[in-house]
Chains A and B, each alone.
Chain A
Amino acid sequence: MTAGGIPLAAFITAMLAAGLVAAAPLVLAALGEAVGEKSGLLNLGIEGMMLSGAFFGFYAAYQTGGALWGVLAGIAVGLTLGLLFAVLTVSLRVDQVLVGLAITIFGGGLTAFLYRDIFGGQNPSLSVDTPRIAIPALSGIPILGDAMFNQGLLFYLAFLLVSVFAFLLARTRFGLQVRAVGEHPFAADASGVDVTRTRYLAALIAGAMAGLAGAFLSVADLKIFQVGMTVGTGFIALALTMVGGWNPYRILLASVLFGLLRSLGNGLQILGIDVRTEFITMLPYIGIMVALALLAGRTSLPAALGVPYARGRR
């Protein structure tokens, strides 16, 4: 069987691979956001942090020629903006939505400015080496193998981190503290949990993961930077965090579904099937709203989400 001149099996493999690659940065950013939200921090700056991670990751990889430096730069800038978010929302107790949007606007302007200022009208692409690593045996599975087990290192890392974050949130002391300060900061404080420290750490994790997700986009996946290249990916990750109910495995599921829906659009176009691509590209967004509507009432939000904490005040 063929589809648009391509063997059907190869076509499905390509679509699966594209969907999973699209899901990887969403998973990364959403995992960090889940930790942040569990601690009571709603980070709308995730979009700007991701974009900054993409730019500084790209720039570092461009200058050094090493993908690793790009990834580290992405994490570093994410950490910096995460720290800024924590200072403003945790220490200064400014509204989280305001601070988040401010960081997103700033990140968009800063990266666009620097990119145009440094590269002028040029749009260089990276010549870094991000080798595909085929996992023995598994990569030989028909159809699935090549899509899931013949990818770059960062791709595997994204999916490995799902288990790491699940363990972190559910099984560690830190995870317990995060959940405690997100549900009831007063009780947590009274029982000796340092609310400020926990929320700072959560914000730093959220920032680092958003920066890493951005670096994945520019350094590992596309190997280019474009002005505003995240086009809402950060916000989507934020929504997927909620769709996944702050559970890393459900976040993974939601992200993969979103990624596959996205690659479906391109796939149908390649097949020459006469479906307006716009309908397919907007499906994931509508899917998120439908999923949230269906889940409404069944997921319980961290009780203190969005609420600043000050000792002795409630």
Chain B
Amino acid sequence: MRHGVFPARFAPLLTSVAAIAAAMVLGGLFLAIRGKDPIAAYGMLASRGLGTSYGITETLIRMAPLLIVSAGLLISLRAGVWNIGIDGQLMVGALFAGVAAAAVAGQIANPLMWVIAALAGMGGGLLWALVPGILRVRWGLNEIITTLMMNYVALNVTSWLVKGPVKDPSVVPPQTVLIPREMRLPAIPETGVHVGLVVGLIVVVLVTILFRHTVIGFMLDVVGRNRQAAIHAGMPVNRLTLVALLASGALAGLAGANDILGVKGLFQGNWNPGYGFAAFALVYLARLNSLWIIPFAYFLSFLAIGGEMMARPLGIPTYFVEMLEGLMLICFAVATYFERMRSPFGHQEEVETGPANAGEAPEALVGEPLLEPVAQPTGGRP
């Protein structure tokens, strides 16, 4: 994109926008094949999702946890760590937050209760990321498999906890004690959106600062781009890998706490909103650029809410949006190929690209054997 109308730094965005457009067209064709009117569908999606205050409010509420989860996922992906265990970390975080909030609610000031619950949520997510993290740095186990497995362990552990030890004994269904509505996160003045959205935006800004202005952020980027170089430069690669995984786990837990304190007020058995896959699509579409997460989070939240709003009147199952997310990622994969071919460096793929361009896998991952122990920069096993 040497001669584009857009400044060069926005060029990677065009790839995402093209992918989204292509996915919408394919999705529309699919609707037409199923005998539905795609124009009416997209029309209603837009008019209800963007044109009604209910749609906008719900979109902004949904956006809060998505922002936090995506910011966390971005940290791990930038460092070349595949955290696919977001859903499990979020569930454990939500459960911890629900239990902590219920334990102290009414006994201390509400803001203090929120902080305690948020910390508990982060602790839960962190704990869940710690297992794959240790397995990775101690035994060199690839985190793709272990984080996936931890999702299913989380499903069972939370389900057991909420049926037994932390269940609200006064009700039948497996759930934690309900936090009364007046004790939950307040709305942003003049809106129906709880302040969790502000927390989400702050998290995104903090992650941006982390990568732009701190040494740790810089080192995480180096590890993600070229693990060998990072080792030779004497960076604590294993510790950085662990930090990236733990940070994204903690943020996933915070997102869980956000939904408990802002929306649900309790943790229910088998509650799994499945933000993980949406966050994956989101972070890639945002080209691993933290600030671009914000518009894409709004867009994907709007799709989800709009999809729910049009489902009943048009008879289009809400799963259409999930399919669309998958299509977007597939189209995005194709689009990155054309982007690579168009780049001034042509077919050379190992050229230095800006962080904003890092739509592909961090190289450390693809080049590294999945099961072998990571080379220790100093000492370590032979």
Contact = CB atoms under 8 A, between A and B. Distances in A.
Interface of A: 42, 44, 48, 84, 88, 92-99, 101-110, 112-113, 116-117, 227, 232, 235, 238-239, 242, 276, 278-279, 281-282, 285-286, 288-289, 292-293, 295-297, 299-301, 303, 305-308, 310, 313
B290 interface: no
A238 B144 CA distance: 10
Interface stretch (B91-99, B176-184, B319-327): B319-327
17 contacts: A92-B333, A92-B337, A95-B366, A96-B366, A97-B144, A98-B360, A102-B332, A105-B326, A109-B325, A113-B319, A116-B319, A281-B156, A289-B141, A297-B140, A301-B369, A301-B372, A313-B348
B145 A293 contact: no
B369 A297 contact: no
Nearest to A299: B371
Contacts of A300: 369, 371-372
Nearest to A239: B145
A313 B320 contact: no
Given A106-B330, A306-B366, A113 B153 contact: no
A61 B201 CA distance: 49
A108 B326 contact: yes
A278 B159 contact: yes
Contacts, number: 184
B145 A242 contact: yes
B1 interface: no
Interface in B362-378: 365-367, 369-373
Given A292-B371, A297-B140, 13 more contacts: A42-B370, A94-B360, A96-B366, A97-B365, A112-B323, A113-B323, A117-B315, A279-B156, A282-B152, A289-B135, A297-B373, A310-B349, A313-B349
A102 B144 contact: no
Interface of B: 34, 82, 84, 131, 135, 139-141, 144-146, 148-153, 155-157, 159-160, 163-164, 277, 280-281, 284, 315-317, 319-327, 329-330, 332-334, 336-337, 347-350, 360-361, 365-367, 369-373
B274 to A, nearest CB: 9
Given A105-B325, A278-B159, A296-B140, A303 B369 contact: yes
Contacts of B280: 101, 105
Given A98-B329, A232-B151, A109 B324 contact: yes
B361 A98 contact: yes
A113 B371 contact: no
A109 B284 contact: no
Judged by DSSP, the binding face of B is helix
Contact of A102 (B148, B333, B360, B373): B333
B380 to A, nearest CB: 13
A55 B141 CA distance: 33
A128 B211 CA distance: 58
Contact of B157 (A44, A282, A305, A313): A282
Given A106-B327, A232-B148, A285-B149, A98 B317 contact: no
A293 B329 contact: no
B281 to A, nearest CB: 7
A293 B82 contact: no
Contacts of B366: 95-96, 306-308
A95 B362 CA distance: 9
Contacts of B330: 84, 88, 99, 102-103, 106
Nearest to A100: B144
Nearest 9 pairs of A and B residues by beta carbon: A106-B326, A109-B323, A109-B322, A102-B329, A278-B160, A95-B361, A112-B319, A105-B326, A282-B156
In the complex, which of the residues B337, B348, B361 has the most CB atoms of chain A within 10 Å of its own CB atom?
B361
Contacts of A295: 371
A105 B281 contact: yes
Contact of B317 (A44, A105, A112): A112
B365 A94 contact: no
Contacts of A227: 319
B34 A117 contact: yes
A292 B145 contact: yes
A30 B141 CA distance: 19
B321 A109 contact: yes
Nearest to A245: B371
Contact of A110 (B148, B155, B160, B323): B323
Contacts of B160: 276, 278-279
Nearest to B23: A106
Contacts of B148: 232, 235, 238-239
Contact of B361 (A97, A107, A239, A279): A97
In the complex, which of the residues A238, A282, A313 has the most CB atoms of chain B within 10 Å of its own CB atom?
A282
A305 B322 contact: no
Contacts of A299: 371
A296 B327 contact: no
B26 to A, nearest CB: 10
Contacts of B82: 97
